Chains A and B, each alone.
Chain A
């Protein structure tokens, strides 16, 4: 999967939870889930469940804590996909 494809998939996943349309429209590798997209911190667990379903991977607690931006999410997803 190319970087752009992965970002596109993440964009679809986070869309229901975002509260800042401008940040969402400009979503890039450097976008932060909470400070930029204004995702409610309680909803981060829902984003992670949706990521698990989309990529058919399991994300453990340690990785979950790191998944707070597009970049960190991409790293963890790539790592898990490589292990498959």
Chain B
């Protein structure tokens, strides 16, 4: 007997909203969190815009102790701790340094690179022959599992505490890893999510690959343009998303508020074959991932009401839509609604899948489809595949039961989750 898995807690740190209430309001309004950053311009970046969440010094102290903040220089861990702690509290748990160890709760909290600014600081000291002057804070902030280690200690988690990493699929994969663990009875609750650092040292490599837009330095809010004819590359973002997954039985036992259900999903790889490369997806594998997610969830393609795509605003958006039409065997007017959160927050890299999943769950819980901004000029490849009405441009309040969320990442890796409204 496999457990049903529900979502009882949500937390988010996004460029257009920190905290679930602010984020929910922002995505309904179509508010952009993309701004110009002088630091990027000073460093000769082609793309000088990005999405960076705003966190005050006071806010940091609500989540981390003055001791934890001494020598602290890891934006991803900060965002992850805020989102993770918020999700844990939203699920009805308290955060207490002396709480009893909970062997039934764990975390899978992913990231791409941890504490890149801290790492830079350490390398400068090392090269200056000052290894002894690094102090005790370098390892815990730069080890990839820094974020799960911080959260595990703050919350007193006694089940699996780990960090996954699979490029832009990381957040989506973390959710499915936690889901599997609960489904199989190995944990009652898993805090799942992902985070990503912000700034030049994490974004520079993408700027060098010329995959970020350089055409909107004077119009940052119009920069991120998924599905648009004038899309010219992605806009980098940062932040964290977190969900508390729980067995239905445990959630009902403690009378928890249930935001939605995770019906199932799939993770696969295109193996960098059949057109797939380190940076481009194998379409056969993408379609298979979506189809397997449906069968794993025991639903038919026609039951999907809305899709939260990967849709980054590079030249691959048309191919992604085509993959969805083929995987679902639905097109034109028969295609579900589709949107991309990246139009508002940019591409939050390792944090993308979890932030976008939080948005997807909010859509089911509050029964709306958030608008795509910056695609008033839909790319001509898209209307031949699906009706333009399905690309929602103003918030749409409508009945939704099932939503699909997919993420695709460098290394030709894919992830697709099926969420269902809980009622």
B66 touches A46 (CB 8 A): no
A residues 23-65 touching B (CB-CB < 8 Å): 42-43, 45-46, 49
Nearest-Cβ distance from residue A18 to partner chain B, whole angstroms:
9
Within the assembled complex, what's the spacing in Å between the Cα atoms of A45 and B131?
A: 12
Within the assembled complex, what's the spacing in Å between the Cα atoms of A16 and B136?
A: 14
Among B66, B67, B71, B133, find the residue whose CB has the most chain A CB atoms closer than 10 A.
B67
Nearest-Cβ distance from residue A76 to partner chain B, whole angstroms:
15
A-side interface residues, number (CB < 8 Å): 7
Sort chain B's interface into a size bin. under 10
B133 contact from A16, A17, A42, A49, Cβ within 8 A: A49
Question: How many contacting A-B pairs (Cβ < 8 A)?
Answer: 16
Within the assembled complex, what's the spacing in Å between the Cα atoms of A43 and B136?
A: 6
B70 touches A46 (CB 8 A): yes
Contacts of B135 in A (CB 8 A): 45-46, 49
Nearest-Cβ distance from residue B98 to partner chain A, whole angstroms:
11
Within the assembled complex, what's the spacing in Å between the Cα atoms of A2 and B10?
A: 56
Within the assembled complex, what's the spacing in Å between the Cα atoms of A27 and B119?
A: 36
Nearest-Cβ distance from residue A68 to partner chain B, whole angstroms:
15
Contacts of A45 in B (CB 8 A): 135-136
Contacts of A42 in B (CB 8 A): 136
B325 CB–A CB distance under 8 Å: no
B137 CB–A CB distance under 8 Å: yes
Within the assembled complex, what's the spacing in Å between the Cα atoms of A49 and B136?
A: 10
Nearest-Cβ distance from residue A9 to partner chain B, whole angstroms:
18
B residues 65-89 touching A (CB-CB < 8 Å): 66-67, 70-71
A-B contact sample (4 more), CB < 8 A, given A16-B66, A43-B136, A46-B71? A16-B67, A42-B136, A46-B137, A49-B135
Binding site for B on A (CB under 8 A): 16-17, 42-43, 45-46, 49
